[in-house]
A and B are shown apart, each in its own frame.
Chain A
Amino acid sequence: MSDLWRDAWTLARKDLLIEYRSRTAFLSAAVFTVLVLLVFVFGRDPTAVAAVDLAPSALWVTFTFAAMLALNRAFQLELENQAFDGLLLSPASRWSLFLGKLVGNLVFVGSIEALGLPLFVLFFNVSLGTSLFPLIGVLALATVGFVAVGTLFSAMAIRTRFAELMLPVLLLPFVLPPLMWAAQATTALLAARPLSEIRGSLYFLAAYDIVFVTVSILLFPFLVEE
Chain B
Amino acid sequence: MKLARVGFAITVVSFVLLAGVYVRAFAFTPIEAAQGPAQKIFYIHMPAAVWTEIAVILLGIAGIFFLFLKDKRLDRFAEASAEVGTALGAVVLGTGPIWGKTVWGTWWAWEPRLTLFLLLFLLLVGYLILRGAVTDDVLRPRYAAVLGICCMIVVPFVHLSVYMFRGLHPDPVVIKPSRPSLPPEMLLTLGLSFAVFTLLYIGFVAQRVALARLREESGHA
Contact = CB atoms under 8 A, between A and B. Distances in A.
Chain A bound to chain B: yes
Interface of A: 149, 152-153, 156, 159-162, 166, 169-170, 172-174, 176-177, 180-181, 200-201, 204, 207-208, 211-212, 215, 219, 222-223, 225
* Interface residues of A, dominant DSSP: helix
Given A222-B67, A223-B146, 10 more contacts: A159-B136, A160-B130, A161-B135, A170-B126, A177-B119, A201-B164, A204-B160, A215-B153, A222-B146, A223-B143
A169 B146 contact: no
B56 to A, nearest CB: 11
A200 B119 contact: no
Nearest to A220: B146
B168 interface: no
Contacts of A225: 142
* Interface residues of B, dominant DSSP: helix
Interface of B: 67, 116, 119, 122-123, 126, 129-130, 133-136, 139, 142-143, 145-147, 149-150, 153-154, 157-158, 160-161, 164
A149 B145 CA distance: 15
A223 B116 CA distance: 28
Contacts of A162: 133
Contacts of B164: 181, 200-201, 204
A223 B126 CA distance: 17
Contacts of B116: 177
B123 to A, nearest CB: 5
Nearest to A222: B67
24 contacts: A152-B146, A156-B146, A159-B143, A160-B135, A166-B130, A169-B126, A170-B126, A170-B130, A173-B123, A174-B123, A176-B119, A177-B154, A177-B158, A181-B161, A200-B164, A204-B157, A208-B157, A215-B150, A219-B67, A219-B150, A222-B142, A222-B145, A222-B146, A225-B142
